[in-house]
């Protein structure tokens, strides 16, 4: 009986690893053996579903932080991207300064440890509290040490950066739910010596945590740091502009709104490293970002960016909301980018609730065998009509943003016949549509009329 029990446990573990059962609890993360995905210490797949809670440390008190983290946990998010220092003069909700006189080499520390107590000693104890509260909820904190504008302005030297990165690494190296995001909305070539100093120091003093770089819009970390030993995975920011507003002609790579092209580029690089869209268009932010009278990105747009990038080979996806990323609240005298909802209301934006469905879909099938495969599509289309496909050995997912007819080259997965179904990214429900021969070119017509936002995933599975 004991042998049978042990065998059952082993089989259960293997099944969870192969099908992509969602990870619970917090183990340190690492890169998968094939270099494409993230996994936990025990080898289970980790699908990064992030939210940009950039000002979480500085603007929310403990009760509010608890509320925000609980909401994000309930909506399936498992990573929160946070600025540690929005500015070198950063203070938190309680008025505690992060640094002594804005000197990054001198964190302002009050003796004592209050993260388990009701008292609040300093900025760093408050950050500790939030990090540990996130860990309780199975959430990882991806921390940007210092936002790029501070470095660009000359407020952080290489020497200060090394001392500050050493402080952070030593303080947080024993916490399991930490990810480091060097940079902060800036090209890596701007003050590159500082970014290399931070990355090198973090990895040297905290080798067990993953490190990446958060770049400016329409760029990827791979442009400057792909071969750096401290960079564990690539991150790009596809940005907030639509096709006719695109300025990427001024960048090294001219990919525009097609965020899947950034994935394609990074996916082809050697050595192989995972890649992710760490900042696409935010829900409820003006298209083009700066003109508050412009139309705004909606839930359908954040879905499109999610499925495009993940199906292209991304290991996860980061969502963002205009009001939530800046934690807009009644105490604020104004807002950035025309945000008009308080964060407490904006956390319920429709796109935020819909993000969990892509994570559920990707974890429902064997995870590590998945590859992008555009050869499945006979008529790929362009811009919003673009179709994108990913598959394993016996399953295929194909996404359409507009609900247009799909012409699919069959025979790419195993079996003489396949079961077909439609997965709805708006509610996560799946409806079967029939059995098809796995040869030739088959035509599939999604439910509803063809229009932007009538998005569907065609699911084909070997019989």
**368 in a domain, yes or no?**
no
Q: H-helix or E-strand containing 205?
A: helix 192-205
Give the domain range for residue 233: 2-363
**209 in a domain, yes or no?**
yes
Both 303 and 388 in one domain: the answer is no
Both 63 and 185 in one domain: the answer is yes
Task: Encode pLDDT of 379-422 as tens digits.
Answer: 999 999 999 999 999 999 999 999 999 999 999 999 999 999 99
**Residue 196 in contact with residue 222, Cβ under 8 Å?**
no
Using alpha carbons only, give the angle 252, 257, 258 rounded to the nearest 5 degrees.
Answer: 85
For 34, counting Cβ atoms within 10 Å of its Cβ (0-12 exposed, 13-18 middle, 19+ buried), the class is exposed
Both 200 and 281 in one domain: the answer is yes
Question: Structurally, how many domains does the chain consist of?
Answer: 2
What is the rounded CA–CA span in Å between residue 80 and residue 142? Answer: 6
Using alpha carbons only, give the angle 126, 128, 133 rounded to the nearest 5 degrees.
Answer: 100
Q: Provide the whole-model pTM.
A: 0.92
Q: Which of 311, 344, 363 is the last residue of a domain?
A: 363
Token pair of 235 as six digits: 């991150």
Q: What is the mean pLDDT of the chain?
A: 93
In the chain (463 residues long), the average pLDDT of successive 10-residue segments reads 37 40 69 97 96 98 98 98 98 96 96 56 94 97 98 98 98 97 97 98 98 96 98 96 84 85 97 98 96 97 98 98 98 96 98 98 97 97 97 98 98 96 98 97 97 98 96
Both 283 and 383 in one domain: the answer is no
């Amino acid at each position: 009986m004991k042998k049978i029990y042990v065998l059952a446990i082993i089989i259960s573990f293997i099944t969870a690893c192969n099908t992509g059962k969602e990870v619970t609890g917090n183990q340190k993360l690492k890169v998968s053996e094939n270099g494409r995905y993230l996994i936990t210490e025990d080898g289970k797949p980790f699908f990064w579903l992030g939210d940009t809670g950039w000002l979480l440390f500085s603007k929310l008190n403990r009760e509010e932080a608890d509320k925000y983290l609980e909401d994000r946990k309930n909506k399936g998010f498992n990573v929160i991207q946070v600025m540690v220092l929005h500015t070198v003069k950063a203070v938190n909700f309680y008025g505690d300064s992060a640094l002594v006189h804005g000197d990054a080499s001198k964190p302002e520390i009050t003796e004592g440890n209050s993260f388990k107590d009701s008292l609040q000693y300093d900025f760093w104890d408050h950050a500790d509290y939030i990090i540990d509260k996130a860990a309780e909820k199975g959430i990882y904190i991806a921390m940007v040490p210092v936002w790029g504008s501070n470095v660009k302005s000359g407020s952080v030297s290489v020497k200060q950066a090394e001392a500050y990165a050493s402080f952070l690494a030593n303080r947080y190296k024993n916490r399991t739910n930490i990810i480091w995001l060097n940079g902060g909305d800036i090209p890596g070539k701007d003050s590159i010596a500082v970014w290399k100093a931070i990355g090198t120091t973090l990895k040297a003093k905290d080798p067990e945590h993953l490190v990446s770089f958060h770049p400016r819009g329409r760029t990827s970390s791979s442009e400057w740091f792909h071969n750096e030993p401290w960079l564990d995975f690539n991150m790009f920011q596809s940005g907030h502009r639509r096709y006719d507003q695109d300025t990427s002609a001024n960048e090294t790579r001219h990919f525009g709104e097609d965020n899947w092209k950034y994935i394609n580029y990074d996916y082809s690089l050697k050595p192989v490293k995972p890649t992710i869209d760490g900042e696409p268009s935010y829900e409820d932010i003006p298209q083009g970002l700066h003109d508050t009278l412009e139309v705004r990105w909606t839930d359908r747009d954040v879905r499109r960016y999610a499925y495009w990038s993940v199906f292209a080979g991304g290991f996860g996806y980061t969502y963002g909301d205009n009001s939530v990323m800046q934690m807009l609240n009644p105490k604020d005298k104004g807002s950035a980018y025309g945000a008009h909802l308080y964060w407490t209301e904006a956390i319920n934006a429709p796109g935020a609730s819909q993000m969990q469905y892509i994570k559920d879909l990707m974890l429902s099938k064997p995870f590590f065998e998945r590859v992008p495969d555009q050869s499945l599509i006979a008529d790929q289309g362009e811009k919003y009509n673009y179709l994108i496909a990913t598959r394993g050995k016996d399953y295929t997912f194909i996404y359409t943003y507009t609900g247009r007819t799909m012409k699919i080259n069959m025979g790419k997965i195993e079996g003489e016949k396949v079961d077909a179904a439609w997965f709805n990214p708006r509610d996560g429900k799946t409806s079967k549509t029939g059995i098809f021969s796995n040869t030739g070119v088959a035509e599939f017509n999604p439910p509803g009329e063809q229009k932007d936002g009538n998005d569907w995933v065609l699911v084909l599975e070997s019989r």
